[in-house]
Amino acid sequence: MTHQMFSPTEMGELTIPNRIFMAPLTRNRANPDGTPKPLAATYYAQRASAGLIVSEATQISPLGKGYIDTPGIYTDAQVEAWKPITSAVHANGGRIFCQLWHVGRISHTSLLPDGQAPVSSSNRRARSKTFTSNGFEDTSKPRALEGDEIAALIEDYGHAARSAIAAGFDGVEIHSANGYLLDQFLQDGANDRTDAYGGSIDNRMRLTLEVCDRVIAEIGAGRVGIRLSPRGQANDITDSDPHGLFSALYKALDTRGLAYLHVVESFGTAGDEKGEALIRTLRSDWTGFYIANGEYDAERSAEAIRSGHADAVSVGKAFIANPDLPERFRTGAALNPQDKDTFYGGGAEGYTDYPFATLGRGDAVAKAA
């Protein structure tokens, strides 16, 4: 089992050295203008032994922002600030995709230009919170995107994808999960539109597929992945027929030759048999490279890959505390404890100061970054 986790394979246009991927992890350590700070080069370079790093969620436009101190990928300054980070990852043998993000209604007026309202598929307020300068606050009431705004939104995704490649990323992941903007169009618990982007399953899938096609046109399908969360669970998102919706979406995406499908299989809901059955049933609707995410440790990761359920597994919080996580999985070394108080915001503490299992390895990576 261990051998399969650490055997190289092809994924889109990349050859990846192992099947333990670093999941996207919001850390709230960017500058107010959305430029990542220089310390991020050390943070990501330390974790370059992942088969693939998916960056922290990175907004595609000013209106895409939903949390304080998160990075963007839409200005020249942001592109330039990402370049040393991607270079440090590559110098340490890694691969990194940029996760393209628009939060939609999971935002607050204090975070948006001129105090604007967030935008969404409808004007339904999410029963959720976001992270502002005052700490966690209730999200603000959104307004529904107008039809003529949607074309500009799709172009924002294309521009962000082009910018990510210019910044040195190996590809991009379209964030269409966890109750953010594209998911707000997909799931009827948030979408009550009556135009071409609401109502039927085909209509609700339209925006995600149009964004996907626009990004493919910009950088090629082999450098594009997408993240979905069929079980809902996050940010007040629900659907009346998740199997019908996501089966149709998996099948539509499967025709596009994407590098991968990245699925949030659980969100702290172990034991939900109905949700677990949904994930298993949907799996047959996707024939390409499949990344499983959600509470995967070394044993579950090995089994998912051995059984053929997944081609790779992405791990989140354990990668925060263990920059050398693939090596720890391979050798059975103990994992560092996680300091949850430093997950969001701050500086080096809880960010770049977690020890490697091999003494001195972290220092060598820091110097390379």
Hey, CA dihedral for 338, 340, 345, 349, is it positive or negative? negative
Q: Does the domain at residues 2-368 carry the CATH identifier 3.20.20.70?
A: yes
| Model pTM score | 0.95
DSSP 296-322: --HHHHHHHHHHTS-SEEEE-HHHHH-
Hey, CA dihedral for 68, 103, 289, 88, is it positive or negative? negative
DSSP 170-234: SEEEEE--TTSHHHHHHSTTT----STTSSSHHHHHHHHHHHHHHHHHHH-GGGEEEEE-TT--S
Among 148, 146, 243, which residue's Cα sits nearest to residue 187?
243
pLDDT bracket for residue 268 (50, 70, 90): low
Q: In angstroms, rounded to a whole number, what is the distance separating the alpha carbons of residues 28 and 130? A: 12
Which pLDDT does position 272 carry in this prediction? Answer: 76
Which pLDDT does position 159 carry in this prediction? Answer: 98
Question: Has 43 been annotated as catalytic?
Answer: no
pLDDT bracket for residue 1 (50, 70, 90): very low
pLDDT in tens, 315-333: 999 999 999 999 999 999 9
User: Above 70 in pLDDT, residue 270?
Assistant: no
Q: In angstroms, rounded to a whole number, what is the distance separating the alpha carbons of residues 342 and 310? A: 31
Residue that is written with structure tokens 């340490």 in the block: 92
Three-state DSSP at 15 gives strand
pLDDT in tens, 144-171: 999 999 999 999 999 999 999 999 999 9
pLDDT in tens, 45-55: 999 999 999 99
Marked catalytic residue, from 43, 157, 180, 197 = 180
User: Above 70 in pLDDT, residue 365?
Assistant: no
Which pLDDT does position 340 carry in this prediction? Answer: 96
**Residue 244: what residue type?**
G
Which pLDDT does position 56 carry in this prediction? Answer: 98
Which pLDDT does position 163 carry in this prediction? Answer: 98
Q: Which residues make beta-bridge pairs with 136? A: 131
Which pLDDT does position 3 carry in this prediction? Answer: 72
Burial class of residue 359, CB neighbours in 10 A (0-12, 13-18, 19+): exposed
pLDDT in tens, 181-216: 999 999 999 999 999 999 999 999 999 999 999 999
Task: Return the biggest CA–CA distance within the chain.
Answer: 60
Q: What is the mean pLDDT of the chain?
A: 95
Which pLDDT does position 174 carry in this prediction? Answer: 99
User: Above 50 in pLDDT, residue 338?
Assistant: yes
User: Above 60 in pLDDT, residue 351?
Assistant: yes
Q: In angstroms, rounded to a whole number, what is the distance separating the alpha carbons of residues 214 and 60? A: 14
**Residue 55: what residue type?**
S
DSSP 242-296: HHHHHHHHHHHHHTTT-SEEEEE--SS-TT-HHHHHHHHHHGGG--S-EEEESS-
